[in-house]
Amino acid sequence: MEAKDIHQKLKDKFQDAILEFNEEVLQPYVVVAPDKTDEIAEFLRDDADLQFDYLNSVSGLDLGENLGVVYHLYSMTKKHKIVIKTEVPKEKPDVKTVSHIWRTADWHEREAYDLLGINFVNHPDLRRILLPDDWEGHPLRKDYVPQESWHGIPTTLKKEEKDDQQQ
């Protein structure tokens, strides 16, 4: 199925929750509402024409004002792919989880939470995955400032040490 038809099928079913479609890019994408991702995901997986049974990855990214979540999907049976995107404001970064639809999303969503602070609503086990549990902040945000030390271990070089290294 072409991206155009996939978008049409989603649009017929979810109407207002499908915000944008762009096929002028290398990989066409559909932008959806963040509070409907779980329903849309279920439809994408279970619909007989779509059958997106394989979730490649869930990526979070910092878009400046907003945080973005990008899902790359593939169908093992139908051999087609689609990119689903959604955006949330930084003040209230709530996205519905899809971890019960594709278990791949479990760890990928934890990673996006860990590194970008995106809150996946209804995720069964949303805690940090790569960084220590008591780390402060979310490093992949563009405005992130690292904490100076963690349990007495310095995390950044002091100014003198930096100068030493440059020499």
Partner 1 sequence: MTNSNNFPEARYELVNPDPLKTDEYVLNMGPQHPSTHGVLRVLLKTDGEIIESATPYIGYLHRTFEKHAEYMTWPQIVPYVDRMDYLASMNNDLGYALAVEKLIGLEVNERAQYLRVIVAELNRIASHLVFLGTYGLDVGAFTPFLYAFRERERIVDLFEEISGARLLYNYIWIGGVAWDAPEGWLDRVDDFLDYFNPKIKEYNDLLSYNKIFIERTANVGVIPADLAINYGLSGPSLRGSGVKFDLRKDDPYCIYDRFEFEACVGSGLKGTVGDTWDRYFVRIQEMVESVKIIRQALKQIPDGDPKETVPKNVRVPKGEIYFRSETPRGELGYYIVSNGGKNPVRVKVRAPAFSNLSIIQAIAPGLMVADLVATLGSLDIVLGEIDR
* Cβ contacts of 120 within 8 Å, gap of 6 or more: 95, 96, 97, 99, 109, 112, 113, 126
**Shortest spacing between CB 1 and partner 1, in angstroms:** 16
State which residue, 25 or 48, has the beta carbon closest to partner 1: 25
State which residue, 122 or 155, has the beta carbon closest to partner 1: 155
**Shortest spacing between CB 108 and partner 1, in angstroms:** 8
Integer Cα distance of 66 and 53 in angstroms = 29
Torsion angle in degrees (nearest 10) through CA of 4, 7, 57, 116: 120
State which residue, 12 or 50, has the beta carbon closest to partner 1: 50
Q: Which residues bind partner 1 (CB under 8 A)?
A: 25-27, 53-57, 59-62, 70, 72, 76, 79, 83, 102-104, 106-108, 115, 128-132, 139-140
User: Coil, helix or strand for 149?
Assistant: strand
Neighbours of 119 (CB within 10 A): 16
**Shortest spacing between CB 59 and partner 1, in angstroms:** 4
